[in-house]
Chains A and B, each alone.
Chain A
Amino acid sequence: MRREHGLLLGYAAAVIAATLVHDPRALAAGLFILLLLAGRQAPALLWRAMRAVLIFNLAVSLGYLLLAGLRQMSPWDTLLLINLRVVVLTLLTFLFVARVNLFRALDFSRTLTYLLGLAYSQALSFQRAHGDFRLALVSRSPVRPRLRDRYRSSAAAAAWFIDKGLVAARETAQALRARGFFND
């Protein structure tokens, strides 16, 4: 078995374990181990993971706080568990992607390699487009844009990405169908 295949299995097992464990202390220990494994990349990866989950986790946590308040129960144990689990899973994924060549990890399956190629090319194209949206706002702003303008720019970018994503998904499905991927 190649190193990348072993790491893929390890990653899959760690994801399942993080989903099944319900003790916050075990998840905290897992987070600590991941940070140790990340070494010098630990601060950057943890920061990326925190930023990636911030808005989603905040929305879920506030919703749960409201619900717990209405039902007069303590929310803290659950909130700690949910947030720790999401951070652990996100950091685990970022660490895996940073350390492992995904194309080599999935090369045992032609279909998975093909799907990864499609996803990767889409991600690169969206990354470039995201950079252009950001730079275009800077370029058009003689003075610092107001928060409202930043929101509008982000909303326009999000709408564009959704639209492009839908078109790309439709075309990808058609291309896969044309190449016989969905044949029984």
Chain B
Amino acid sequence: MIELDGVSYRYNGSVALGELSLRVEPGEKAVLLGANGTGKSTLLKILAGLLAPTSGTYRYQGEAVDPKRLRNAARNRRFRREVALLFQNPDAMLFNPTVFDEIAFGPRQLGLKDVDDRVRRWAGALGVAAHLDRPPFGLSGGEKQKVALAALLVLEPELLLLDEPAAALDPRSTGWLVDFLADLPVTVLTSTHNLSLAPELGSRALVLGEDHGLIHDGPIEAFLADPERLVAANLVHIHRHRHGGLEHRHYHAHDWE
């Protein structure tokens, strides 16, 4: 479904993504791991056809994709219907006067007949049906995240790209999201730097290192069991612990901070 061949991205003269080559097959649920600033959001934006790689090729369903190629109306229409990106900041995605209009935006653009049914079904699935007549701007961060997700899922995409989807969620909503995504019959690539959450979001890990290159592509359990790689990826840290009278140091993650 996704093929990246030597994809790199430079921004203001700096490397944001090293030369990445990888494949994602239909139905896979993969996790994109990496410390802040390693290029996770940039990679997701390239996969969503919003940024053009500085070098290398990105293919979706065998067809090269970049913003220039998506100027073709028919190609853009198909791609945008099939590939959806949830931005880390849900506010960036919400601009309609009501939650109903927000979720109905995509279906209306495509001239679908069953807009009302779709909106109510997905609003119900995401637990935001009670807010359909409210403006999205006054909702809590978690509710906005759910509305943004409903606005993407209403088009029933085949590839869902999620940029730190749990960042604005409380623990209860995070648990709900994990269950919801597990049951979703689409290909999902989720970025996170939360090591506790990562194994719940997919069985395969794509890990970006601080040099912006791919330092692991394989089973997530193998990566999480490899302290040297966790340290190299800056995903764990070391500091002193005190347990009663005992004091010692070891690597660990503080995921919920």
Which A residues contact B (CB, under 8 angstroms)?
A: 129, 132-133, 135-145, 149, 152-153, 155-157, 159-160
Contacts and interface: CB of A to CB of B under 8 A. Distances in A.
A135 B95 contact: no
Given A141-B80, A159-B137, A135 B109 contact: no
Contacts of A129: 89, 92
Given A139-B87, A142-B81, 18 more contacts: A129-B92, A135-B50, A136-B92, A139-B93, A140-B80, A140-B106, A140-B151, A141-B80, A141-B106, A142-B106, A142-B109, A143-B109, A143-B110, A149-B95, A152-B96, A153-B95, A155-B95, A156-B91
A144 B85 CA distance: 17
Contact of B92 (A132, A145, A152): A132
Contacts, number: 62
A144 B73 contact: yes
B131 interface: no
Interface of B: 45, 48, 50, 73, 76-77, 80-81, 84-85, 87-89, 91-97, 105-106, 109-110, 137, 151-152, 155
A95 to B, nearest CB: 20
Contacts of B155: 142
Contact of A133 (B45, B92, B105, B109): B92
Contacts of B80: 139-142
Contact of A132 (B77, B87, B137, B151): B87
Contacts of B81: 142
A160 B45 contact: no
B93 A140 contact: yes
B106 A139 contact: no
A50 B57 CA distance: 37
B110 A160 contact: no
A132 B89 contact: yes
Contacts of B105: 140, 149
Contacts of B87: 132, 135-136, 139
A139 B91 CA distance: 14
Contacts of A132: 87-89, 92
B205 to A, nearest CB: 25
Nearest to B88: A132
Which 10 pairs of residues, A with B, have the shortest CB-CB distance?
A156-B95, A142-B80, A132-B92, A153-B95, A136-B92, A136-B93, A135-B50, A152-B95, A142-B77, A133-B92
22 contacts: A129-B92, A132-B88, A133-B92, A135-B45, A135-B50, A135-B87, A138-B50, A139-B84, A139-B85, A140-B80, A140-B105, A140-B106, A142-B80, A142-B110, A143-B76, A143-B77, A143-B109, A149-B95, A149-B105, A155-B95, A156-B94, A157-B92
